[in-house]
A and B are shown apart, each in its own frame.
Chain A
Amino acid sequence: MKDQALPNKAISALRGQTPPIKGTHPMQQGDGIPVPPTHPEHAGLDMNAVIGWILQLGVIISSVVITVGVILALAQDQLTSKNALIFPHSLVDVWSGVLALQPPSIIVLGLLLLLITPVVRVAASIVAFGLEHDRRYVILTTLVLLILILSFLLGKGGG
């Protein structure tokens, strides 16, 4: 049983150097180590693919919303006639503009969706590392997310 303590470390050291094997959970490779319960739907998922999907979805949704805004602006002849430097930039104004189907507000909504994709990605990575039982990187990534939030708050305070 003394040897059984080692594989866990050895496997995780190997993991970075071997191509990810689809369908096998890293913990399942060491025989003798109890496989921790995971949700069956997460078990064989390639987390890189999932994060790729999330990003792609965010990018597609935001570009569709932006395109709809641009087409509406073209149709209403607002794209070139309006002063491009006057636009809604508070969440309340944007939201009421979207409900009124105003093209600039719809474009801003699409831009906002685009701007939050990296944050969603960091949050998704925390889950991904969590599912890989990589506690060190869960902590590291959470730290990054916290610093992101901190720098946002600091920046806002400073104007």
Chain B
Amino acid sequence: MLTMHLTLLALILIFVCSLLAGVLGSLVGLGGGVLIVPILTLAFGLPIRYAIGVSIVAVIATSSGAAAAYVRDHITNMRIGMFLEIGTTLGAVSGAFLAGLLAPQILFVIFGFVLVISVAPLVVKLGEELPAGVKNDRWARALQLSGTYPDRYLGREVSYEVTRTPWGLAMMYLAGMISGLLGIGSGTFKVLAMDTVMRLPMKVSTTTSNFMIGVTAAASAGIYFFRGDIPPLVAAPVALGILCGALLGTRVLSRISNKGVRMVFIPIITAVAIEMILRGLGLGHF
């Protein structure tokens, strides 16, 4: 039987780290998982099984904590989120089926390199505040995906159109499959699909990803809970910390530029890529 005794100091530190993860996660549309799992396993010695369970709580806390603000601010595009969620959830189901057939190590390395490569278009577009010259494709027109959002940084209502919708949906299927196969959230792939493929404004991409990761995580949350993978004494400071952080993050998002969000996103996506490759090569502890 595993034992773990937490000190009060450890609990406070977990709370503070979670707060930071909540701010970052709510800004760039990732669950806190990629940040929380390494902290819990490396710094606090929590067995990986429980760390992953707690990270599911972290993802949902980030998503729901930030969503309340983003939905009311009309930044999240609910139609795009719902439509793409079909790809993600179906992908997650097929990923769960394939899980036994494919070696996760190889997949970690492959997807890690995919992420490294996908940093390039982000860097190229670093100077771009809003995507220009994007025209609705047939799918976007039929599904009324285009929209507007109020940008407090630019001080105006920004309208945008949506392109390459089928490719975005395909990439969402892949993102769902990755989370089903590897048991990780796939906020990075979701943001990339919306930003790089469908050419949405960065803020719309991250907030819509934020909405979606919560729904995807909720699908597997029950499994983790009933399996006994979510220790409440560890999850409590994580949940409270992330919720506070997400609340702060939503305040920040409306005030910074799309460029600024992208600037935060690039180092995080690079860190996630390295984490995945190391894990695939068996060099990571997480």
Contact = CB atoms under 8 A, between A and B. Distances in A.
Given A17-B146, A55-B71, A140-B82, A148 B89 contact: yes
B79 interface: yes
A38 to B, nearest CB: 20
Contacts of B144: 12-13, 15-16
A158 B147 contact: no
B268 interface: no
Contacts of B232: 69, 87, 104, 107-108, 111
Interface residues of B, number: 70
B8 A84 contact: no
Contact of A115 (B3, B68, B143, B221): B221
Interface residues of A, number: 66
Nearest to A116: B218
Residues of B contacting A: mostly: helix
A90 to B, nearest CB: 7
Contacts of B57: 111, 114-115
B89 A144 contact: yes
Given A85-B2, A115-B57, A144-B89, A55 B96 contact: no
A90 B228 CA distance: 8
A36 B67 CA distance: 31
Nearest to A74: B8
B93 interface: yes
Contact of B230 (A111, A117, A143): A111
Interface in B76-104: 78-79, 82-83, 85-86, 89-90, 92-93, 96
A18 interface: yes
Nearest to A55: B68
A20 B74 CA distance: 9
A145 to B, nearest CB: 9
A81 B148 CA distance: 52
A82 interface: yes
B78 to A, nearest CB: 6
Contacts of A141: 82
Contacts of A116: 218
B240 interface: yes
Interface stretch (B58-66, B126-134, B269-277): B58-66
B263 interface: no
Interface of B: 1-8, 11, 47, 50, 56-57, 60-61, 63-65, 67-69, 71-72, 74, 78-79, 82-83, 85-86, 89-90, 92-93, 96, 141, 143-148, 150, 157, 159, 211, 214-215, 217-223, 225-228, 230-237, 239-240, 243
19 contacts: A48-B71, A49-B72, A62-B239, A79-B8, A80-B7, A86-B1, A89-B225, A89-B230, A107-B232, A107-B236, A115-B222, A117-B214, A118-B217, A118-B218, A121-B215, A147-B219, A148-B219, A152-B223, A156-B222
